Structure 1
Amino acid sequence: MPIHNADIADVFNEIADLLEIQGGNPFRVRAYRRAARSIGEYPKNVRAMIAEGADLKAIPAIGDDLALKVREIVATGSCALLASLRAQLPSAVVALLRVPGLGPKRVRQLYEQLHVQSLEQLEQAAAEGRIHELHGFGPLTEAHILANLQGRLDKSRRFQFAQASQRAEPLLVWLAALPDVERVEAAGSLRRLRDTVGDIDILATAREPAEVTRRFVAYDDVSAVLAHGPTRASIVLRGGLQVDLRVVQPACFGAALTYFTGSKAHNVALRRLGQDRGLKVNEYGVFRGDVRIAGETEESVYESLGLPWIPPELREDSGEIEAARGAALPALVTRGDLRGDLHTHSLASDGHASLRAMALAACERGLSYLAVTDHSKRLAIAHGLDARRLAAQIDEIDQLNAQLAGVTLLKGIEVDILEDGRLDLPDAVLARLDLVVGAIHSHFDLPRERQTDRILRALDHPSMTILAHPFGRLIDSRNPSDIDLLRVIRKASKRGCFLELNAQPERLDLMDTACRMAKDHGVLVSINSDAHSVAQLDNLRYGVNQARRGWLEKADVLNARPLAQLRPLLARTMRSPACETSGSP
C-alpha cells in the first residue's frame, strides 16, 4: 500500500513518544521529533523521491540512519525499531498519550511511579488522589485528568453491550419490516462491539424516508421523542438508551455507515489519507473536487483510499490502518471457531442445570467438549465443593462420559486463589482433574504489588491451568483490580498457563487491550461462557466480540482447538516439573 509523508511522520512521532516514556536519550528523542516534523511538512512526496533515486538526506533533519528507516517505512509500512519499542511496553500505555494534559514525560511518570498501564488504572489513580503527589502534577492537574476521563467514559450514561444489543435488535427488525426500507443497520460503538455503549446510531435507506422516521418514533418501547423530521429522528427507549436514526440516500450509505460507525480517531485517520490523495472524505462519500467517486458501500470508501475493508471492531486507530496497508489485518476469530467451553457451572455449586443437561446443551450449540468447573469450598455463598464432593463429581463425570455421544465433559474446578496466592483445595485432588481454573473472589482492592504477587504465586502452582476473569471487574459495579498485567502475562507465558476472556456480559474480562497484549506475548486466551445455566452458554458470542476487538485470531484462542489438540496443552499445565507448590490449605 502507498505510504505518504504523514505516515512516515506518524511512525517517527510514535518512536519519539515511546523512547521518551522509556527514558531514552533526549537527543535521540528530539532527533525523531525533528525528523517527523520535517517529513510531515516536506513539499515533495518522499515515496516518489525514493522511486526516483533521490538522496533522502536532502530532507532537513534526515541523516544516514533515519534515511534507512524512511526507506524501511516506505517499503513495509512500519519499521523494526517501532515494533521493538511497542513490545517493551503494554499496548494500552500508548492510549494514555491521548488523554488531554498528558504528554510522554507525564505518561512516563505515571507508568514508572504509579505503574499505570491503562485508562482504567489512570482513572482509578486520579480518583484515589495518588496522581497529585507526583512531582509536576498537583491537585488541579489531577482533577483535570479525572474530568477528562469521566467525560470520555461517563459510566452513568453507558450500557453493557448485551443490554444495548438486546434493545437494538428488535428495533432493527421493526424498521426492516416496513416495505419502504431497503437497508437498515446499526452503527456507532454497538457495531464496533464495544463492551459498553453510550447510545445507538441507526442508518437506513428507503424510498419514502418520512415513513421510516414515523414508524421509528411509533416504536412501542419509546419513552420520549427527542426529535422527529423527514430524514432524522431521535428517541429514548424505556430503559434510558437514546437511539438516533438517519435515513440517507443509497449512493452515500456506505460512506455514512463508515462515518457513523467511527471511531472518531479512525475517521480522522481516513480523512488524512484522503487529503494525501487529494480527496475529501465525509459522511456523504469520497469526493475528488465536486465528483463523488465512492460512497455507496464501505468497501468502495476504503478502496478509494488504497485500503481493504477494515472490520468495524478494529476501527480504533490502534494500528489497523497500518495493518491494512501491509495486508496484515487479522483473520478475526468467529463464534463458529470455538470447539468447546472451559468454564461452566452445574447444580453441584451455584449452577442451575445438571451435568447431563449442560453437556447436551453444549452439543446442541456445536461444542464438542465442556469443562465443568464448579466453585471450590472457600466460596461458601456458591455452595463450593470440598475435596470429598469434588472427588465424587470426578467419578460422576467419568460415568457420564461413557454414556454421552458427540460431547465430552472435562473435569475441572474454579478454585479460589487465596489472599496469599495459595489455592483453595489440596494438591492431591487437583491433580486428578483435566484442568484447574483459578480465580480471585475476594480482596479485590489489594495494592498493586500484593495483588500481582498473589496472582503470580497462583500461576506457579503445578496444577494451575487458566487464570479466570483476571481483573475481577464487574461493569458499572466493581472497578478492575490493580494488577501489573505485563508481569502476569510474562509469567503465564513462562509457565505455559492461559488467560481467560470471561464472556459474562457484566465481566467481559479480559479487556480488548489486554487480549492484544496476551496475543503479542504468545499467551493463548480461553473464551469461556462462565455459564451457570443452559441459556448462559450463549454468552460465548459476547466473548467472541471482545476477542475480535482484541485482534484475536483462531490460533490465539485455546478453545478453538479440537479436543485431541487441547488435551496435551492442558496436561502440560497440570504436570509442570519446573514449578513447585508451596502447599495448599
Structure 2
Amino acid sequence: MNKKIIIRTLEKIALYMELKGENPFKVSAFRKAAQALELDPRSLAEMDDVTKLKGIGKGTGDVITELMDSGKSSVLEELQAEVPKGLVPLMKLQGLGGKKIAKLYKELGIDSAEALKQACIDHTIQKLPGFGPKSEDKILQELMEFDSRPGRHPIWKTEEAVATINEVLENIKEVSEYSVAGSYRRTKDTSKDLDFIVATAEPAKVKDLLLAALPVEGTIASGTTKVSVTVEFQDPIDIDFRLVAPEEFVTALHHFTGSKDHNVKMRQLAKSQNKKISEYGVEQEDGTIRTFKSEEEFFQHFGLPFIPPSVREDGRETDRIEELPELVTIEDIKGDLHMHTTSSDGANSLKEMIDACRSKSYEYMVITDHSQYLKVANGLTPERLLAQNKEIRELNKEYKDIEIFSGTEMDILPDASLDFDDDILKQLDFVIASIHSSFQQPQEQIMERMLTAMKNPYVHMIAHPTGRIVGQRGGYDPDVEQLLDWAKEYGKIVELNASPYRLDLAVEFLEMAQEKEVPVAINTDAHAIEQLEVMAIGVRHGQKAWLKKENVVNTWPLEKLKAYLKK
C-alpha cells in the first residue's frame, strides 16, 4: 500500500458518488482528502497516522484505514455495485463530467453509450436544463468518434488482465508452464485480444478451474484444448486459452506469439531444411516430431540465435541476426533518469526511491520532481527545488554505491518560456524539459516551445516528446523529424518514456532517432517504487525499433554519462 493507491481510491470513490448523485459536500470530502495526501511531502511510511492529517475526516479516514488493513475499500465496492457499469465509460467523452452524467441518468434514465446516443438522435438531451442543441450535437459527435475507434486495447489496460491471469495460473497445480503470447508478448502498443498458452496434462480440469477463477462475462467458444472467453477487467476483453501437452508448450508458444510474417519466414526456413513447423512441434525429414525445452533450443535447431519476441514482426528479423547482440537489454540498464518523489506528486520519499534504485544495483539515478507551473502535481518552487538539491548533495556523501543526480522535470510553458530561470537550472545536474499544457496549440507554437528548450544550454533531455497516451490521445502533434534534427544540432537527449501509458517516443520515431544518431534515454517516469519495474516494458519497446545499447545513454557507465552531461 502506498499514497498513490489511496489517493486513486479516494478519487474513484468521489467519482462514483458523483455519478450516483450523492451530496456534493460528501463528494468534495473525498476529493479534499485525496488532495491533502497529494500535497503532503511525506510518504505513507513516514506518517505516524495518516488519518489525522488535516483535510481527512472520519468517513475518509475509515476508508484509508480499511485500505491499509485489507487492501480493499467496501465503500468503493458498494458504489461500484450500485452505479450502472455503462455510466463509467461515458467519462471518456469530452465535455461530460460526473455531474452531467448523473443528471442524464437521473432525469432520462441514460445508463450506457447506446442509450445516450439514442437520446441525442431523439433530441431529448437538448430539453434538459444546462444542455441545449449545441451540447447535444457535441455529445453525438463525440459518441460517433468513440464508436469509430479501433477495437484494440492499450497495453496499460491489458497488463492488469495479464497480471491477474498469471496469478490464477500460478496457483493451479495442474499447470506446469504458462505464458501470455500474441501481440502483448511482442510488446505491441495495443492488442485486439489476449492469448495464453497453458501446459497441462489435465486440460479439462484446468479449463474448469480457469473459468471459475476469472470474472467471465461470456463464453465465445469452448473445446477440449481451447477456450475463448470475454473477461471483465477495466473493460471487457476477449481471451483465448490454449491448453497444450507439456512437451508441445515451446512450439505452441512460438507459434501463437507470432507475428504472422515471422511465422511465415520461419516456415520457409524450415522447408529449406526439409522440416515442417507446426504448433505441435517440428516434423523432421524422417517424419518424427521434434519438441523443445526452450525457445532458445527451438531457434538453435534452425541455426539461429534466440530472437526476442519484441522483434518478431515483419519477417526481416532473420536477416538482421548480426544486430541482435547490439540490441539494448534490461541487463544493460545502469540507471533511471526520470522519477518523482513525495516532494511533488510521487508516492515515495526521496530516500525510499534511492533505496529502491540501489536494490536494482543501478550505478546512478536522477530525481526529477515537477516544476512550479504544474500546481496540480504540487510542483516545486525555486526555493523548494534548491532545498531538495542541497539534500541530494548531502545524501550523495552518505551513499557510496550509487550516484544521485539532482534534477527537475521543468515545464515548457504555453508562451514558449521555461518554468525556471537559468540561475536555478545551472545548479542542477540534470534538467528535463517537457510539455504538460495547451496541447491544442497549432504545431508552429508547439515547435516554438520545443525550440526554446532545445536552445537552452542547461536542458539535457526532452521528456515524452509527443505527449501521447497509448489508445487515448495522440498528443500535441510536434514535427518529430524537426525535433530530432534540433536534438542532434543542440546535443539533447530524447526520451523513451517506459510508462505503458506513454511508450513515447513511438517505434517509428525511435528508429528515426537512431538513424540520426540522437541519443535516447529509456526512463520509467516512476511516481512510486513499483513503477520502476516498467523499465522492462520500455526496453522491449526500444527493441522493437532495434535500438542499440550504445545509443541508449542510461546503459553508459557513470563516468561516460558524467562526461556527456558536462559537455
Residue 236 (structure 1) aligned to one of 220, 230, 254: 230
Residue 192 (structure 2) aligned to one of 177, 198, 205: 198
Whether 1:224 aligns to 2:218 is yes
Residue 291 (structure 1) aligned to one of 287, 290, 293: 287
- The CA deviation at 1:439 is 0.2
Residue in structure 1 matched with residue 487 of structure 2 by the alignment: 492
Aligned AA for 1:556?
Answer: N
Superimposed CA distance per residue, residues 442-493 of structure 1 (whole angstroms, 9 cap, x where no aligned partner):
2323344443343234212111101100110112332133222222222212
Instruction: Compare 166-175 and 194-203 and name the one that shifted more.
Output: 166-175
- The CA deviation at 1:563 is 2.4
Change (3 A) 1:435 1:236: same
Whether 1:245 aligns to 2:224 is no
Aligned AA for 1:464?
Answer: V
Aligned equivalents of 2:286, 2:149: Cα separation in 1 = 39
Residue in structure 1 matched with residue 206 of structure 2 by the alignment: 212
Contact (CA 8 Å) 1:360, 1:407: kept in 2 or not?
no
- The CA deviation at 1:311 is 1.0
Aligned equivalents of 1:555, 1:480: Cα separation in 2 = 29
Secondary structure, in 3 states, of the residue corresponding to 2:500? coil
- The CA deviation at 1:502 is 1.3
Residue in structure 1 matched with residue 339 of structure 2 by the alignment: 344
Whether 1:307 aligns to 2:304 is yes
Residue in structure 1 matched with residue 255 of structure 2 by the alignment: 259
Aligned AA for 1:366?
Answer: S
Secondary structure, in 3 states, of the residue corresponding to 1:234? strand
Aligned equivalents of 2:350, 2:279: Cα separation in 1 = 52
Aligned equivalents of 2:169, 2:436: Cα separation in 1 = 44
Aligned equivalents of 1:272, 1:154: Cα separation in 2 = 36
Aligned equivalents of 1:554, 1:210: Cα separation in 2 = 45
Aligned AA for 1:406?
Answer: D
Residue in structure 2 matched with residue 167 of structure 1 by the alignment: 161
Residue in structure 1 matched with residue 536 of structure 2 by the alignment: 541
Change (3 A) 1:351 1:169: closer
Aligned AA for 2:189?
Answer: D
Consecutive unaligned residues of structure 2, counting only runs of 5 or more, are 1-145
Change (3 A) 1:290 1:218: farther
Whether 1:570 aligns to 2:565 is yes
Residue in structure 1 matched with residue 351 of structure 2 by the alignment: 356
Secondary structure, in 3 states, of the residue corresponding to 1:259? helix
Whether 1:322 aligns to 2:319 is yes
- The CA deviation at 1:277 is 5.4
Change (3 A) 1:483 1:207: same
Superimposed CA distance per residue, residues 10-39 of structure 1 (whole angstroms, 9 cap, x where no aligned partner):
xxxxxxxxxxxxxxxxxxxxxxxxxxxxxx
State the TM-score, normalized to the length of structure 2: 0.67
Residue 188 (structure 1) aligned to one of 173, 182, 189: 182
Aligned equivalents of 1:267, 1:446: Cα separation in 2 = 44
Residue in structure 1 matched with residue 435 of structure 2 by the alignment: 440
Residue 425 (structure 1) aligned to one of 388, 395, 420: 420
Secondary structure, in 3 states, of the residue corresponding to 2:337? strand
Superimposed CA distance per residue, residues 192-240 of structure 1 (whole angstroms, 9 cap, x where no aligned partner):
1223333221113322322222222222433333332211112222212
Aligned equivalents of 1:287, 1:558: Cα separation in 2 = 45
Residue in structure 2 matched with residue 140 of structure 1 by the alignment: none
Contact (CA 8 Å) 1:199, 1:243: kept in 2 or not?
yes
Change (3 A) 1:298 1:352: closer
Change (3 A) 1:449 1:330: farther
- The CA deviation at 1:280 is 4.4
Whether 1:532 aligns to 2:527 is yes
Q: Give the percent of matched residue pairs that are identical in Structure 1 and Structure 2.
A: 37
Secondary structure, in 3 states, of the residue corresponding to 2:365? strand
Aligned equivalents of 2:421, 2:444: Cα separation in 1 = 26
Secondary structure, in 3 states, of the residue corresponding to 2:183? helix
Residue in structure 2 matched with residue 402 of structure 1 by the alignment: 397
Aligned equivalents of 1:256, 1:348: Cα separation in 2 = 48
Aligned equivalents of 2:534, 2:300: Cα separation in 1 = 35
Superimposed CA distance per residue, residues 388-417 of structure 1 (whole angstroms, 9 cap, x where no aligned partner):
332232223223323334333211111112
Residue in structure 2 matched with residue 134 of structure 1 by the alignment: none
Superimposed CA distance per residue, residues 141-176 of structure 1 (whole angstroms, 9 cap, x where no aligned partner):
xxxxxxxxx99x955441424x42343244234335
Secondary structure, in 3 states, of the residue corresponding to 1:349? coil
Residue in structure 2 matched with residue 120 of structure 1 by the alignment: none
- The CA deviation at 1:498 is 0.6
- The CA deviation at 1:183 is 2.7
- The CA deviation at 1:312 is 0.6
Aligned AA for 1:186?
Answer: V
Residue in structure 2 matched with residue 369 of structure 1 by the alignment: 364
Change (3 A) 1:285 1:356: closer
Contact (CA 8 Å) 2:218, 2:230: kept in 1 or not?
yes
- The CA deviation at 1:182 is 3.3
Secondary structure, in 3 states, of the residue corresponding to 2:213? coil
Residue in structure 1 matched with residue 265 of structure 2 by the alignment: 269
Aligned equivalents of 1:426, 1:318: Cα separation in 2 = 50
Aligned equivalents of 1:407, 1:303: Cα separation in 2 = 39
State the TM-score, normalized to the length of structure 1: 0.65
Residue in structure 2 matched with residue 384 of structure 1 by the alignment: 379
Aligned AA for 2:312?
Answer: R
Secondary structure, in 3 states, of the residue corresponding to 1:531? coil
Secondary structure, in 3 states, of the residue corresponding to 2:324? coil
Residue in structure 2 matched with residue 456 of structure 1 by the alignment: 451
Contact (CA 8 Å) 2:265, 2:315: kept in 1 or not?
no
Aligned pairs for 1:124-143 within 5 A:
none
Residue in structure 2 matched with residue 511 of structure 1 by the alignment: 506
Superimposed CA distance per residue, residues 258-279 of structure 1 (whole angstroms, 9 cap, x where no aligned partner):
2210112222333344455565
Aligned AA for 2:219?
Answer: V
Aligned pairs for 1:54-203 within 5 A:
155-161=150-156, 163-203=157-197
Contact (CA 8 Å) 2:334, 2:363: kept in 1 or not?
yes
Residue in structure 1 matched with residue 12 of structure 2 by the alignment: none
Aligned AA for 1:423?
Answer: L
- The CA deviation at 1:420 is 5.1
Consecutive unaligned residues of structure 1, counting only runs of 5 or more, are 1-149, 573-585
Superimposed CA distance per residue, residues 423-452 of structure 1 (whole angstroms, 9 cap, x where no aligned partner):
221111111111110101123233444433
Contact (CA 8 Å) 1:175, 1:215: kept in 2 or not?
no
